[in-house]
């Protein structure tokens, strides 16, 4: 019995020593990363650091963290952020954010982000590169606002990015329940005042391939750039409006996409009015576009539904036979 007690005491002391050494290493790695960003010219600071979680977890809390990259003009700050991982392996990180407002800025534009139980999960491969295996962002009720008014909000939020068998390819899925557009977005819907406050469905499922895996170099050097996108499904349901999309795109080194996206739209006339109100469709183009799409809808047998294709060719995009203009460049800054 005494021998068993001695073994237990030795194991407890060994585990405690490991916990404190590993916890110190994790804390030093986090604070050291901030120091490295300062050396690169970033603003990267915090007012305090706390460690807890013994014996099963490591938890490191940074108080008043702030990051700003002067090169691309982005900045972020919060009241606190926690890093939590199993004591046995720090590569399974859970980042918990304060329920109080966070601020995300891009040059002179600042957004306030707030979410209940807002957290991110990071599954990293062992090794110096810290290659991303899985990243997830979840929240309960959430909201985004600028300095004047709310922009958007929702009841729940789930974003997942997970590495596939191809280390450069990731499944990306997104879903927002009860998504509610702010006043600015609703102002664009002047022709559809009967639309409900919240979306019934807002979700997306796709596979994106990049020119390199996502790892620590994405923060310290340059972002991986997309080379192919397989949009398996994007779905929006808002009142009587229905929009479905699926297709594949290849992306060249300049970020120019080539390929096709199949689109099905129900109650598409309201969408034309919205695009016109938003300035995406000029007044002089409304009648010709409406006539052309009305003809195409008639061919399908249902005048309220459209089955079309977005064609990306030679740097331009067309909706079926209708040219829309230059294609957007898919470049991650």
pLDDT tens, position by position, 107-125: 888 999 999 999 999 888 8
Q: Is 265 a member of any domain?
A: no
Q: How far is CA 88 from CA 56, 91, 176, in A?
A: 8, 9, 34
SS3 286: helix
Structurally, the chain folds into a number of domains equal to 1
Residue owning tokens 């938003």: 278
The whole-number average pLDDT for the span 5-20 is 81
262: in domain: no
Among 40, 33, 109, smallest CA distance to 71 is for: 40
Q: Which residues pair with 54 in a beta bridge?
A: none
186 falls within a domain: no
> 239 to each of 14, 99, 199, 205, how far by Cα in Å?
61, 31, 7, 22
On whether residue 318 sits in a domain, the answer given is no
pTM for the whole structure = 0.77
* Residue that the structure tokens 């596939």 belong to: 164
pLDDT in tens, 220-248: 788 899 999 999 999 998 887 888 999 99
* pLDDT confidence tier of residue 191, bands split at 50, 70 and 90: very low
Q: Residue 72: inside a domain, yes or no?
A: yes
Residues forming a β-bridge with 68: 43, 75
Q: Distance between CA 162 and CA 43 in Å, rounded?
A: 30
DSSP state of 329: P
- Give the domain extent around 66: 1-115
| Any domain includes 228 | no
3-class secondary-structure state, position 147: coil
Quick one: pLDDT at residue 190? Answer: 54
């Amino acid at each position: 019995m005494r021998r068993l007690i001695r073994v237990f005491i030795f194991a407890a002391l060994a585990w405690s020593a490991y916990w404190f050494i590993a916890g110190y290493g994790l804390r030093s790695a986090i604070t050291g990363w901030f120091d490295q960003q300062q050396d690169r010219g970033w603003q990267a600071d915090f007012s305090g650091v706390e460690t807890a979680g013994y014996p099963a977890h490591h938890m490191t809390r940074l108080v008043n963290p702030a990051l700003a990259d002067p090169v691309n003009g982005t900045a972020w700050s919060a009241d606190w952020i926690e890093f939590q991982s199993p004591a046995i392996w720090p590569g399974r990180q859970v980042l918990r954010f304060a329920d109080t407002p966070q601020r995300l800025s891009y040059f002179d534009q600042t957004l306030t982000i707030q979410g209940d139980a807002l957290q991110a999960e990071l599954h990293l491969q062992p090794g110096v590169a810290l290659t991303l295996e899985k990243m997830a962002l979840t929240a309960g009720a959430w909201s985004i606002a600028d300095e004047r008014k709310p922009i958007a909000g929702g009841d729940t939020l789930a974003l997942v990015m997970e590495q596939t068998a191809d280390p450069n390819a990731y499944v990306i899925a997104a879903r927002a329940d009860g998504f509610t557009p702010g006043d600015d977005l609703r102002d664009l819907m002047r022709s559809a005042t009967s639309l409900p406050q919240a979306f019934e469905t807002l979700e997306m499922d796709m596979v994106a391939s990049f020119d390199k895996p996502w790892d620590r170099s994405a923060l310290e050097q340059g972002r991986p750039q997309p080379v192919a996108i397989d949009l398996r499904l994007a779905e929006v349901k808002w009142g009587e409006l229905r929009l479905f999309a699926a297709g594949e795109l290849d992306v060249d080194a300049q970020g120019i996409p080539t390929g096709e996206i199949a689109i099905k739209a129900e109650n598409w006339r309201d969408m034309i009015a919205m695009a016109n109100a938003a300035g995406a469709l000029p007044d002089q183009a409304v009648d010709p576009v409406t006539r052309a799409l009305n003809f195409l809808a008639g061919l399908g047998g249902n005048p309220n539904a459209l089955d079309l294709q977005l064609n990306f060719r030679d740097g331009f995009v067309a909706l079926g036979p209708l040219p829309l203009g230059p294609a957007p460049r898919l470049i991650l800054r």
